[in-house]
Amino acid sequence: MIGFSGQVREVFRRELLVAWRGKARILGIGFFGIAVMLLFAVGGEAAGARLTKSSAAYFILAELLASTLLFALIFRIETEDEALEMLMMLPISPSALFYGKALAATVLLGGLACVLAPVGVVLFGVGLVEPAWMLIAVCGLIVFGLAAPGTLYSALTARAPAQEIVLPLLYFPLLLPALLAGSRALTLVLTGDVMTQVPSWCYLLACFDILYWVVCGLLFGRVVEGV
Amino acid sequence: MIGKLRRYGVGVVGFVGLAVAHYFGLFVAPGEAMMGDVGRILYIHPQTAQASMICFLAAFVCAVGSLWTGKSGWDDAMASFAEVGVLLGVLLLAQGCLWAKPTWGVYWVWSPRLITSAVMVLSFAGVLILRRLVEDPARRATWSAVAAIISAADVPIVWFSVKWWRDQHQMQSDVAKDFAQTFAWVAHTSWFAVMLLTGWLVWLRYRLARVERAHLETAADLPARAAPLNLDGGGEG
Amino acid sequence: MTGIIEGGWGFVAAVYLLTWGALLGYTAWVGRRLERLESTTEQGNDA
């Protein structure tokens, strides 16, 4: 029997393969994210400094809203044809299943961020003042923070009625720290970090990420027992 | 009659105690030194805040107990604490908004307390809605316990992140800390009454949850006990 | 902030009315449901 990391790797590969086979759905989520950015650009200030200042928040909100569609999908497709029951019968630790799926979600959300970023540059007229690696690091931490609770709640609500209501209702309040820290850090990266505040926001984001990846990993087994 | 007294007696004591405290707080005590009449919120708002925090903390403990032991009592206790906590949390936010308007001229300020309270209330409201939507008792217990634990784990992070953000923006401090409580005994009486009422409401809600559960378990047996339908007239029973 | 805040009695009254209304309303709601369920259970036991 393969070890824990091997299990995680296999689940991760399976998830990406499933996502590849269901490209249409993933593409649809991407277009949804772009549509949301457009709505924010239109609904917010039409042009000017205020739009640029809010662009980081709009970007993260678009990512967040699109992620709810992704998470609604991740476990719901497993409920088709009893795929999840068959998966649980394999000698895989539930935590490995969680981490594999959450890592795959991180990659997909990272891909979405790569699509939304240039759209944001075009729509909001932003540039990059701080180095690009800082932008990648901040976006990485944000995406990492969305993936863990999203994957857990995806499993929890997969068979619950009105998943489209319950999933966001449970998921959104949790993300306030990630939204707050992420949008502050991202705004500073885009407009210039004169007082070197980005590291402290990244530190907060990292604490949030670690807490959720650990807690959700521990609780995941109990959630899928009941599915 | 004795049954009703036993059930509602504590609640009556709590409400009477609260009424006495509020009478003195509203009509006898002078206005607060800095805030005038608006300062009379001191006799209800901090108490509501503490009661709601205790309820959410207790809901977290019961959620851990529910997952650990699998016993339905912990699940019903968690639901009771969560429901009363959400009620008090919503009241807290409403009280805060109504206090803030004459004090600051706005209904909402971006303080760690307010944002943390709002996030807690929303999170636990989500847990309660999840409970409504899941019919299977075992799944409902597990899933709502998981959601409650995660919601509770989020609270310190929310607090620190908002405090950090606010410190960097040098926002105005929480005025609640700057009060001088002129009629302290009224505030303390109100505190005891609110705590008593909270405990009693949780107990009452817990009783309801137990009766509902027993009712459902009995109802599950009904098909075996139901009298057969006799359409010819003169049936059984 | 300088000086005493003037007025605000309306807001204070609203706070207290809201709080009392919510607490009494919730008590009544839970109490009534409990009474109804218990009486249904008793009727079932009597039958």
Give the DSSP per-residue string, A147-167: HHHHHHHHHHHTTSTTHHHHH
User: Is residue B112 in some structural domain?
Assistant: yes
Instruction: Give the residue from A164, A29, A153 showing the smallest Cα distance to A98.
Output: A153
Please indicate, yes or no, if residue B218 is contained in any of the structural domains.
no
CA distance B236 to B230: 8
Q: Are A147 and A102 in contact (CB under 8 A)?
A: yes
Number of folded domains in chain B?
1
pLDDT per residue over A168-212, tens digit each? 888 888 888 888 889 889 988 888 887 788 888 898 899 889 999
pLDDT of B236 reads 44
For residue B214, tell me if it sits in a domain. Answer: no
Banded model confidence at residue B220, pLDDT cuts 50, 70, 90:
low
Q: How confident is the model at residue C46 (pLDDT cuts 50, 70, 90)?
A: low
Q: State the pTM of this model.
A: 0.84
Q: How confident is the model at residue A106, as a pLDDT? A: 95
- Phi–psi pair at B181, nearest 5 degrees: -85, 105
**Calpha distance B225→A210 (Å, rounded):** 54
Is the residue at B77 inside a domain? yes
Quick one: average pLDDT of B54-62?
95
Q: Decide if B234 is inside a domain.
A: no
The predicted pLDDT at position C1 comes to 41
pLDDT band at B33 (very low <50, low <70, confident <90, very high): low
Using only C-alpha atoms, chain B has a radius of gyration, in whole angstroms, of 22
Residue B237: what pLDDT?
A: 40
Interchain contact, B130 vs A174, CB within 8 Å: no
Residue to test with chain B: of A197, A200, A219, A224, most B Cβ within 10 A: A219
What is the distance between the alpha carbons of residues A109 and B44, in angstroms, rounded to a whole number? 45
- Which residue of chain A is at minimal alpha-carbon distance from B70? A222
* Domain that residue B156 falls in: 36-171+184-209
Chains touching chain A at 3 or more Cβ pairs under 8 angstroms? B
The pLDDT score that the predictor gives to residue B173 is 44
With respect to residue B12, please indicate whether it lies within any of the assigned structural domains.
no
Residue B103 counted as domain residue: yes
Q: Span A56-66, mean pLDDT? A: 91
Above pLDDT 90, what percent of chain B?
43
CA–CA min distance B78, chain A (Å): 17
Name which of A114-128, A142-156, B45-59, B119-133 the model is least confident about: A114-128
User: Is the torsion defined by CA of A45, A48, A49, A55 positive or negative?
Assistant: positive
Least confident of A68-77, A209-218, B12-21: A68-77
Instruction: Report if residue B1 sits inside a domain.
Output: no
Residue B22's identity, in one-letter code, is: H
- What is the band of A34 on the pLDDT scale with cuts at 50, 70, 90? very high
